[in-house]
């Protein structure tokens, strides 16, 4: 029990009565806050609830912990004996808000340059497994976790609001006994409206996705075309002009922490034509976030573009962000090779490793900021090299792999439910794949009736099947979401253990390099 009262006798009474009253499997959630003890309860007639134990009369006293929870939802105060009262409050938005208020570590905050990892959760049920992975990997206190992470695209497909994503992560972290700081990532934001929605929900990490403003045609454009594209840039929003840009970048090679980066006029024009409008859009959204007065940190993502980000382009982006007064805590370049959903890196690993050293040098020299690894799920061959290249100044972003681990549970204990998800994958893949980088071949994925029950879990280890199931999550949840969530509730321990095992493989390579970077 932590954050306790100064009254040793009260602390002892609270602790003893709490252990008497709580279910044994929920002991790890027990926290003491002032004169109250709070814990999570997962079973029984009440369902999922937060329990609050405090001296009699606390529910009526302004500022008391029990009073805060009593106002959060329907709950009845009961006599717990020994001069103590007990309140059970069903989980919900009010309960989650109360938890963030009385347990400040659950209120998301900027994490800074600490090694960090984002855990996407499309069902709102994965956070206990993510916490277990942090503990088993020895990442607690080393890697900063972002349990609430969701893009607007994912929220749309799962029909969850930004506030629901936040509240589910809060409840899950409390349930699992997490007592250290957390972040919250509003991922792949493109509009001011989406930014403001996520600010209101309490997100603190804002990933700006300016991909619609990146001009990929500049990659192969000739000099005349590039001049035309450069002339059309929104120079007033960039607070700049071509002559000034040339004077800054063509005066001589740049020193990026020992890596020399030299521009010629063509290279500079191509970088500006490709990314100039994207930088203006990023600066616009930065002003929107900053104008709210809320605590925040910014990530820029240019990974969803057609061509790898060169070191020259990375340096241009970094230095122009700095000139525009747009600090970033992390930046996601488009690395060489293919970072597809749900599978390991595809491409020339040696070429990727060679390029990581240069990108890490740019991030150190012109930031400092973390390199961000998007589509980071299941890139097991990459984790060690990027952790080493950055010396831990890195952010790992995962998403749909947690959903696949939920399907793994279904494949083992509810084969017919899993077959229905696979059938939806076959039906919806060609439509649902359109917004993702995917190499799956649908013809390589067996039809639901072709696989015996005992072999269904093996489909979660097949790249083609993984990707088909991964990108059709929205369609599957529309049809099967209620059944899948009920199944995971019934098999909560198996779900948590599967997630923990899977994410230890993600986290462990980063731990030797993890921590706060200066």
Predicted confidence band at 12 (pLDDT cuts at 50, 70, 90)?
confident
Q: What 3-state DSSP class applies to 319?
A: helix
Predicted confidence band at 150 (pLDDT cuts at 50, 70, 90)?
very high
- Predicted confidence at residue 517, as pLDDT, reads 65
- Predicted confidence at residue 75, as pLDDT, reads 78
Which tokens hold the place of 173?
């972290």
- Predicted confidence at residue 24, as pLDDT, reads 58
Find the catalytic residue in 154, 299, 313, 378. Answer: 299
Q: What mean pLDDT comes out for the span 326-336?
A: 98
Q: Which pairing describes strands 77-81 and 370-373: parallel, antiparallel, or unpaired?
A: unpaired
Our CA dihedral for 438, 442, 448, 453, rounded to 10 degrees, sits at -60
Q: Is 187 a catalytic residue?
A: yes
Decide if pLDDT at 189 tops 80. yes
Decide if pLDDT at 243 tops 70. yes
- Predicted confidence at residue 4, as pLDDT, reads 56
Q: What mean pLDDT comes out for the span 345-370?
A: 98
Q: What mean pLDDT comes out for the span 145-165?
A: 96
Predicted confidence band at 74 (pLDDT cuts at 50, 70, 90)?
confident
Question: Which part of the chain is CATH 3.20.20.70?
Answer: 107-216+248-400+504-513
- Predicted confidence at residue 278, as pLDDT, reads 98
Which tokens hold the place of 328?
């970033």
Q: What mean pLDDT comes out for the span 392-399?
A: 97
- Predicted confidence at residue 3, as pLDDT, reads 57
Q: What 3-state DSSP class applies to 470?
A: helix
- Give percent of the chain with pLDDT exceeding 90: 88
CATH code of 107-216+248-400+504-513, in short, is 3.20.20.70
**pLDDT tens digits, residue range 356-367?**
999 999 999 999
- Predicted confidence at residue 163, as pLDDT, reads 98
Decide if pLDDT at 262 tops 90. yes
Task: Round to the nearest angstrom and report the end-to-end CA distance of the chain.
Answer: 32
- Give percent of the chain with pLDDT exceeding 70: 97
Find the catalytic residue in 121, 167, 187, 388. Answer: 187
**pLDDT tens digits, residue range 88-139?**
999 999 999 999 999 999 999 999 999 999 999 999 999 999 999 999 999 9
**pLDDT tens digits, residue range 53-63?**
999 999 888 88
**pLDDT tens digits, residue range 417-459?**
999 999 999 999 999 998 788 999 999 999 999 999 999 999 9
Q: Is 168 a catalytic residue?
A: no
What rounded mean pLDDT belongs to the chain? 95
- Give the lowest-confidence range in 21-25, 109-113, 223-227, 460-464: 21-25
DSSP H helix total and E strand total for the chain: 19, 15
Predicted confidence band at 251 (pLDDT cuts at 50, 70, 90)?
very high
**pLDDT tens digits, residue range 158-182?**
999 999 999 999 999 999 999 999 9
The region that residue 323 occupies, defined by phi over 0 for left and psi between -120 and 50 for alpha, beta otherwise, is alpha
- Exposure on the CB side of residue 279, measured as CA atoms within 13 A: 29
Would you say the C-alpha torsion 378, 518, 293, 73 has a positive or negative sign? Answer: positive
Predicted confidence band at 16 (pLDDT cuts at 50, 70, 90)?
confident
DSSP assignments along 300-368, one per residue? EE--SSSSPPPHHHHHHHHHHHHHTT---SEEE---SSB--TTS--BS-HHHHHHHHHHHHHHHHHH--
Decide if pLDDT at 1 tops 60. no
Decide if pLDDT at 22 tops 90. no
Confirm if 171 and 99 have CB atoms less than 8 A apart.
Answer: yes
Pick the more confident residue, 110 or 48: 110
Whole-number Å distance between alpha carbons of 279 and 127 = 34
Residues β-bridged to residue 51: 39, 88
Predicted confidence band at 518 (pLDDT cuts at 50, 70, 90)?
low
Predicted confidence band at 5 (pLDDT cuts at 50, 70, 90)?
low
- Predicted confidence at residue 261, as pLDDT, reads 98
Pick the more confident residue, 192 or 517: 192
Q: What mean pLDDT comes out for the span 227-252?
A: 98
């Amino acid at each position: 029990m932590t954050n306790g009262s100064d009254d040793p006798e009260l602390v002892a009474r609270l602790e003893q009565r709490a252990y008497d009253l709580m279910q044994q499997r929920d002991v790890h959630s027990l926290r003491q806050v002032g004169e109250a003890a709070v814990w999570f309860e997962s079973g029984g007639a009440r369902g999922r609830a937060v329990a609050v134990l405090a001296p009699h009369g606390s529910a009526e006293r302004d500022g008391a912990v029990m009073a805060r929870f009593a106002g959060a939802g329907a709950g009845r105060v009961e006599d717990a004996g020994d001069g103590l009262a007990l309140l059970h409050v069903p989980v919900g938005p009010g309960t989650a808000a109360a938890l963030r208020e009385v347990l400040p570590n659950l209120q998301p905050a900027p994490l800074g340059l600490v090694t960090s990892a984002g855990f996407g959760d499309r069902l709102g049920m994965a956070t206990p497994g993510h916490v277990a992975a942090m503990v088993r990997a020895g990442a607690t206190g080393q890697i900063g976790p972002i349990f609430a992470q969701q893009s607007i695209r994912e929220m749309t497909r799962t029909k969850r609001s930004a506030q629901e994503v936040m509240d589910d992560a809060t409840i899950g972290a409390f349930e699992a006994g997490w007592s250290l700081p957390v972040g919250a990532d509003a991922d792949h934001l493109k509009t001011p409206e989406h930014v403001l929605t996520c600010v209101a929900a309490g997100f603190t990490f804002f990933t700006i996705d300016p991909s619609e403003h990146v001009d990929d045609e500049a990659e192969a454009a000739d000099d005349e075309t590039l001049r035309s594209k450069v002339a059309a840039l929104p120079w007033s929003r960039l607070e700049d002009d071509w002559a000034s840009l040339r004077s800054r970048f063509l005066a001589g090679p740049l020193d990026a922490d020992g890596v020399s980066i030299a521009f010629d006029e063509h290279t500079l024009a191509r970088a500006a034509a490709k990314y100039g409008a994207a930088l203006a859009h990023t600066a616009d959204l930065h002003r929107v976030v900053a104008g709210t007065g809320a605590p925040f940190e910014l990530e820029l993502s240019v990974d969803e573009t057609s061509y790898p980000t060169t070191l020259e382009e990375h340096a241009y982006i970094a230095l122009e962000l700095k000139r525009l007064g747009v600090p970033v805590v992390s930046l996601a370049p488009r690395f060489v090779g293919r970072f597809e959903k749900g599978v390991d890196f595809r491409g020339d690993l040696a070429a990727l490793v060679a390029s990581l050293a240069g990108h890490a040098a740019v991030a150190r020299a012109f930031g400092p900021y973390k390199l961000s690894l998007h589509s980071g799920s299941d890139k097991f061959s990459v984790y060690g090299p990027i952790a080493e290249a950055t010396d831990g100044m890195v952010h790992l972003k995962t998403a749909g792999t947690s959903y696949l681990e939920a399907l793994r549970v279904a494949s083992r204990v509810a084969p017919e439910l899993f077959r229905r998800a696979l059938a939806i994958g076959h039906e919806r893949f060609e439509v649902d794949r359109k917004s993702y980088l995917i190499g799956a071949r649908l013809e390589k994925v067996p039809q639901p009736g072709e696989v015996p029950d005992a072999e269904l879990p093996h489909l979660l280890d097949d790249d083609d099947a993984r990707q088909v199931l991964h990108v059709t999550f929205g369609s599957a949840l529309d049809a099967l979401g209620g059944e899948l969530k009920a199944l995971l509730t019934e098999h909560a321990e198996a779900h948590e253990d599967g997630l923990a095992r899977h994410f230890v493989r993600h986290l462990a390579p980063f731990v030797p390099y993890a921590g706060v970077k200066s």
